[in-house]
Amino acid sequence: MKLKWTIPVLLVTLTAAAHMPFAMDQFMQVIETSMTKMVMMPLHEDAIDMAKAELSYGKDPVVRRLAEEIIVDQQSEIDAMNFSLSKKH
C-alpha cells in the first residue's frame, strides 16, 4: 500500500528538484535587481547631489572641476545600471 504513494511522491519531488535551479536563478535575479536599486542607485544619486552643492557654493576651481566630473561619471553609471536592469526584465 505504501509503495503506491511512494512513486508519485518521488516523481513530484524529482520534478520539483529539477525546476529548482531555474527558480533559484529567477530568485537571484530579483534579489540582484532589488539590491542594485536599493543600494547602488542612492549612493550614486547622493554623490551627484553633493557635487551639485559644491558647484552651487564652492569657490575652489579644482574642486568645482572635480564636482563636474563626478556628476558626469556618476550619471553615466546610473544610466548603465538602469540599462542593465531593463534588459533583465
Sequence ranges of the domains in the chain: 2-87
Say what the pLDDT of residue 26 is: 80
Position 1 scores a pLDDT of 44
Q: What is the pLDDT of residues 14-60, one digit of tens each?
A: 666 666 677 777 877 887 787 777 778 899 999 999 999 999 999 99
Cβ burial of 52 (10 Å; 0-12, 13-18, 19+) is middle
Q: Give the residue, 63 or 26, on which the prediction is more confident.
A: 63
Average of per-residue pLDDT across 79-86: 88
For residue 79, report the phi and psi dihedrals to the nearest 5 degrees: -60, -40
